[in-house]
Amino acid sequence: MILENTVLDIAARGIILSAGAIVWVVILIRINGLRSLSKMTNFDFVMTVALGSLVAGAAQASSWSGFAQASAGMLGLFLVQFIAAYIRKTSDVAEAIMQNEPVFLMRNGKFLEDALRKTRVSKSDLIAKLREANALDLSCVRAVVLETTGDVSVLHGDALDETLIGDVRRL
């Protein structure tokens, strides 16, 4: 307990603990680098969600040991992410195991029905993504790719450099 008044104590602890948790996360990001909260892989997404849960747990801790445990958990997440990124960078086998492949959903103005079915992306969702990307003519859409993060990239225009789609799988 920080203060005698229960309501004020709850408010003070919430503010102090959440501020402490956020400062700790900022320190960890400064040490580990900006890639810490990127959304480049599914692993990064899980890291971000888990980190948010641990920050919430730290902010709601009822004891200093609970706060310390949540803070140690945050450090553990950053360590695991650092090690996994290092292993992925140095091993093609690890990269293949840990990373999904991007997949074509559309190619040269044509919907790839098998890919849509296998990735469980509806045609209406894909059309919405095309609108978001300001695609005005399907014949100008060179490729639509379901990225490893779950994002959808729409590549449209007069030409497409094959380097941009070299790693994309066709289902």
pLDDT: is 89 or 107 the higher one? 107
> How is 2-19 classified by DSSP, letter by letter?
-SSSHHHHHHHHHHHHHH
Q: List, for residues 8-31, the tens digit of each pLDDT value.
A: 888 888 899 999 999 999 999 999
Domains in the chain, please, with CATH? Answer: 6-97 (no CATH), 103-165 (3.30.240.20)
Residues with Cβ within 8 Å of 75's Cβ and at least 6 positions away in sequence, in order, are 28
Sign of CA dihedral 78, 33, 31, 13: negative
1 falls in which pLDDT band (50, 70, 90)? low
84 falls in which pLDDT band (50, 70, 90)? confident
